Amino acid sequence: MAENVIVTPRFKGEPFDKMLRRFKNKCERASIVKDYKKHEFFDKPSAKKNRKNQELKRTKLNNKRKEKSLQERRKILANQRFR
């Protein structure tokens, strides 16, 4: 879950906009906004499962494409070495 994010002035008279920027960055690193948006609405279990399956499918397809292009590059390099 999200952590508590505390921002205190680094030095006397630090501008508010710098503190606000540091606060936003800390929130982003702690993924507070992302977590909030994920829990903003109820997701049915079937929708979660479907999203997870789609992500797995996309990942496998991308890995397959990367492996294919890597093999093609290896073939090209092997052919160039023997010339």
What confidence tens digit (pLDDT) does each residue in 32-75 have? 888 888 889 999 999 999 999 999 999 999 999 999 999 999 98
Mean pLDDT of 7-24: 92
Distance CA 20, CA 29 (A): 14
Range 74-80 contact pairs with CB under 8 angstroms and sequence separation of 24 or more: none
Question: Do both 28 and 47 map to the same domain?
Answer: no
Amino acid at position 60, single letter: K
Which residue in 12, 60, 3, 58 sits closest to 32, CA to CA? 3
pLDDT, residue 55, reads 97
Question: Do both 54 and 83 map to the same domain?
Answer: yes
Question: Do both 47 and 80 map to the same domain?
Answer: yes
Residue 56 or residue 6, greater confidence: 56
Question: Do both 82 and 52 map to the same domain?
Answer: yes
Question: Do both 57 and 34 map to the same domain?
Answer: no
Question: Do both 54 and 33 map to the same domain?
Answer: no
* Domains contained in the chain, number: 2
Question: Do both 29 and 59 map to the same domain?
Answer: no
- Can you give the pTM of this predicted structure? 0.50
Q: Name the residue range of residue 6's domain.
A: 1-41
